[in-house]
Amino acid sequence: MANLLIRGGTVVNADRAFRADVLCQDGKIIAVGEGLQAPTGATVVDAGGQYVMPGGIDPHTHMQLPFMGTVAVDDFFTGTAAGLAGGTTSIIDFVIPSPQQSLLEAYHTWRGWAEKSAADYGFHVAVTWWSEGVREDMGTLVQQEGINSFKHFMAYKNAIMCDDETLVNSFKRALELGAMPTVHAENGELVFLLQKEVAAMGITGPEGHPLSRPPMVEGEAANRAIAIADVLGVPIYVVHVSCIEAAEAIARARARGQRVYGEVLAGHLVLDDSVYRHPDFATAAAHVMSPPFRPTGNQEFLWRGLQSGNLQTTATDHCVFCAEQKAAGKNDFTKIPNGCGGIEERLAVIWDAGVNSGRLTPSEFVAITSANAAKLFNIYPQKGSVSVGADADLVVWDPQGSKTLSSKAQHSKGDFNIFEGRTVRGIPSHTVSQGELVFVQGDLRAVQGKGRYIKRPAFGPNFTATKLRSESLTPTPVAR
Ligand code: URP
Ligand code: ZN
Ligand code: ZN
């Protein structure tokens, strides 16, 4: 494989930024330093005036997900290709077994679908039901297949929702295995009830969606999952934290010393719930995702969570449905397939609204767009770091480049862009995946099937987060 030299840029890692050239060979970074010489035949990229950062890791995507009676339109190729165009070089997608389906069977199905991926990928595996077989499959997945995180949907009743019994059993098993439990925190029973109440008020349009999923529905589930994790002494990662109530639950637990982590979506950082009151059904429905976009005020709280370190990662929940699919809920908002895109736009939106506004430093940007996800899911510094020995997954970032985001220009197969019309300053000029240029000044060179499955090892013996708490539960017999 030819060498690639990125010359004259400022390398930004999560811990520091410094002037350096970066030399890549055979898919790895082999040197980082000033004045590096280009080996014969090397491709040279001039990064003068630009930042050289780890490629983004999107720890929450759903490519070609079968969901709510349809299938998300971006498959593993088109979705990861769109990611590469936006500077994201790895994803962690979700294997979601149907209730009663074996976890291993679902895992192999998703592995097959993902073979067409253009960028590296891994999987979280959802636990949607409980049995001895599920318990065994979790062990096989961790010990043989490189899975170190399990997802629990606390919403989507009568579909993939898991009850408290399953949560408890699965969290306990994850702890034994050194795997991270993650949760979609929304109280599915409350959502179910509120959907019926909203419908009984005669509200059938997309404006009913946020009414049926108010912030406390998320706050309750986040608090419950965190409490269960605390009792069991297992760390926990809360996906797509969208509101003050859930962010506060995480901050409170962390202040008590619990290992709790939170992820924020780019969309939740910059959009509010007014989108559901758009007069055009298709536009309002295109924003239907769960948890919904929130009233003004929640967004700033999420930014503060990222600034303070109480929230650690950003993602997109990229799960794209077109207008035709969303139309299934024309007369009933509960039937609108839940999901929005964003994998191509995440980095630029967060840079523009986060770094340009002064909310984040460039190093904090790297922390929340790649390094922290790599650490939390145990692939650091292979991913999330510009350092010798790391995978040569990089983004050369032009802080002066700008573009206006639009569905017309996006690489996703979706027909809508939730960031439509937003002009961002700070865009990728080049994306490098496995040491090769896959995006050059607007020219996308994604190769179907080039992405690799990345195994993620289990966490080590100090994984038990709250040893003291579990020790305090050790029964002491009372002499009577
Ligand atoms: O609305 C969403 N988020 N759709 C994808 C499934 C999920 O809840 O993550
Ligand atoms: Zn979710
Ligand atoms: Zn999701």
pLDDT tens digits for range 13-25: 999 999 999 999 9
| Closest ligand to the CA of 94 | 3
Residue 289 in tokens: 């995702």
- Name the phi and psi angles at 449, rounded to 5: 85, 0
Q: Is the CB of 316 under 6 A from ligand 1?
A: no
What are the tens digits of pLDDT across the range 66-79?
999 999 999 999 99
User: In this structure, is residue 409 part of a structural domain?
Assistant: no
The ligand 1 atom nearest the CA atom of 62: 5
Q: How far is the CA of 418 from the centre of ligand 1 (A)?
A: 15
| Closest ligand to the CA of 267 | 1
CA-proximal residue: ligand 1, atom 8 (nearest): 290
Domain encompassing residue 191: 55-376
User: In this structure, is residue 210 part of a structural domain?
Assistant: yes
State the pLDDT at residue 469: 56
Q: Which residues, other chains included, contact 103 with Cβ-Cβ below 8 Å and sequence gap of 6+? A: 95, 97, 125, 127, 134, 137, 138, 141
State the pLDDT at residue 480: 87
Distance CA 73, CA 226 (A): 33
State the pLDDT at residue 478: 86
User: In this structure, is residue 425 part of a structural domain?
Assistant: no
Q: Is the CB of 62 under 6 A from ligand 1?
A: yes
Residue 287 in tokens: 């924003």
Half-sphere exposure of 118 (CA within 13 A, CB side): 26
Nearest to 103 by CA among 121, 130, 122: 130
Q: Is the CB of 338 under 6 A from ligand 1?
A: yes
Distance CA 396, CA 335 (A): 41
The ligand 1 atom nearest the CA atom of 60: 9
CA-proximal residue: ligand 1, atom 4 (nearest): 339
Q: Is the CB of 317 under 6 A from ligand 1?
A: yes
Looking at residue 338, what DSSP letter applies?
A: P
Q: Is the CB of 154 under 6 A from ligand 1?
A: no
Distance CA 141, CA 143 (A): 6
Omega prior to 291 cis, within 30 of 0? yes
CA-proximal residue: ligand 1, atom 9 (nearest): 317
Distance from the Cα of residue 110 to its chain's centroid:
17
Q: How far is the CA of 161 from the centre of ligand 1 (A)?
A: 12
Nearest to 75 by CA among 448, 444, 373, 342: 448
Q: Is the CB of 464 under 6 A from ligand 1?
A: no
Half-sphere exposure of 229 (CA within 13 A, CB side): 30
Q: Is the CB of 184 under 6 A from ligand 1?
A: yes
Report which residue type is found at 309. G
State the pLDDT at residue 1: 67
CB atoms within 10 A of CB 72: 25
Nearest to 434 by CA among 120, 123, 121, 146: 120
User: In this structure, is residue 421 part of a structural domain?
Assistant: no
The ligand 1 atom nearest the CA atom of 288: 1
User: In this structure, is residue 263 part of a structural domain?
Assistant: yes
- Which is it for the CA torsion 243, 244, 245, 246, positive or negative? positive
State the pLDDT at residue 461: 74
Residue 415 in tokens: 């027909």
Q: Is the CB of 151 under 6 A from ligand 1?
A: no
The low-confidence residues of the chain, meaning pLDDT below 50, are 468
State the pLDDT at residue 466: 55
State the pLDDT at residue 65: 98
User: In this structure, is residue 43 part of a structural domain?
Assistant: no
Strands 180-184 and 149-153: parallel
CATH code of residue 204:
3.20.20.140
- Name the phi and psi angles at 173, rounded to 5: -65, -40
The ligand 1 atom nearest the CA atom of 156: 8
Q: Are 64 and 319 in contact (CB under 8 A)?
A: no
The ligand 1 atom nearest the CA atom of 153: 8
State the pLDDT at residue 269: 99
User: In this structure, is residue 398 part of a structural domain?
Assistant: no
Q: Is the CB of 291 under 6 A from ligand 1?
A: no
User: In this structure, is residue 394 part of a structural domain?
Assistant: no
- Identify the bridge partners of residue 54 per DSSP, sorted by sequence position: 394
Q: Say how many domains are in the chain.
A: 1
CA-proximal residue: ligand 1, atom 1 (nearest): 289
State the pLDDT at residue 436: 98
